[in-house]
Amino acid sequence: MSRPLINCKIGPSILNADLSEIYAESQRLLDSGADYLHLDVMDGHFVPNLTFGHPVVKCLKKKLPQAFFDMHMMVADPEKWIEPIADAGAEQYTFHIEAAADPLQVIRKIKEAGMKAGVGLKPGTSVESVVPLIEHVDLVLIMTVEPGFGGQKFMTDMMSKVEYLRSTYRNLDIEVDGGVGPNTIELCGKAGANLIVSGTAITASDEPKQVISYLRKSVEESLLKFHP
């Protein structure tokens, strides 16, 4: 049996879009070629910021039933929100390993709720900590900024985590989030990331379609070396 290929997917983060126009902004991103939408949920505890919760997600999903919602749950108690987020219609639930006393239980509950499970790592967390979970999750998210606020500077040294994961787990979906745009995308692709979260670089652009296309082309060219 031939091994599955890793595919590049671009998931714009709407955190830095005009949240008073969240539906219109989301539709604009999807029309511009986004593969999925990356929705940042912050609770003011795990990170020092608040965004939106499951009621907003549920309303948005009703208007965008065809969109794939990748929930980035920057929350202190990830188990608490699994059922509400599943009920809101999200397809994927990514929690932070730092917030989970029993990560395997969180993963099991996410899957029981009918969602894909992802696990995220803050910059200060070692990549080795996620190794026991890899066979159970659908993706690993490597934060390339400190979670909590958009517009931060990309942390180049986080690429070593991506490189380790890609060299060890050839077919793993590896997501990067934070400061990712045209100026940093080549680093992400060469390290082996294939799921690309980009916020301001896309949402603030007058030509989001071109930005998404550029990010995709750069990553696809880089991924050829892993799966020629």
Q: Kindly report the CATH number assigned to the domain that includes residue 26.
A: 3.20.20.70
Which residue shows structure tokens 């690429």?
Answer: 159
> At residue 57, what is the residue type?
V
Q: Which of 40, 43, 70, 173 is catalytic?
A: 40
Q: Is residue 228, in this structure, part of any structural domain at all?
A: no
Q: Is the pLDDT of residue 141 over 70?
A: yes
Residue 25 counted as domain residue: yes
- Spot the catalytic one: 35, 43, 173, 177: 177
Q: What is the pLDDT of residue 228?
A: 62
Structural domain contains residue 3: no
Residue 156: phi and psi, rounded to 5, are -60, -35
**pLDDT of res. 148:** 82
Q: In the prediction, which pLDDT does 1 show?
A: 31
State yes or no: is 31 an active-site residue: no
Per-residue confidence (pLDDT) for residue 2, from 0 to 100:
37
Instruction: Say how far apart CA 120 and CA 129 lie, in whole Å.
Output: 11
In a domain, 1, yes or no: no
- For 140-170, letters b (16+ CB in 10 Å) and e give bbbbbbebbebebebbeebbebbbbbbeebe
pLDDT class for 128, splitting at 50, 70, 90?
very high
Q: Count of domains in the chain?
A: 1
Confidence of residue 199 (pLDDT cuts 50, 70, 90): very high
Is 46 part of any domain?
yes
Range of the domain at 57: 9-223
106 part of a folded domain:
yes
pTM summary value: 0.95
- Chain centroid to Cα 5, Å, comes to 19
Residue 206: what pLDDT? 95
Residue 31 lies in a domain: yes
Q: Chain-wide mean pLDDT for the chain? A: 95
User: Which pLDDT does position 101 carry in this prediction?
Assistant: 96
In a domain, 4, yes or no: no
Rounded mean pLDDT, 73-83? 98
Task: Name the pairing type of β-strands 69-74 and 37-42.
Answer: parallel
Question: 180, 154 in Cβ contact below 8 A?
Answer: yes
40 is catalytic: yes
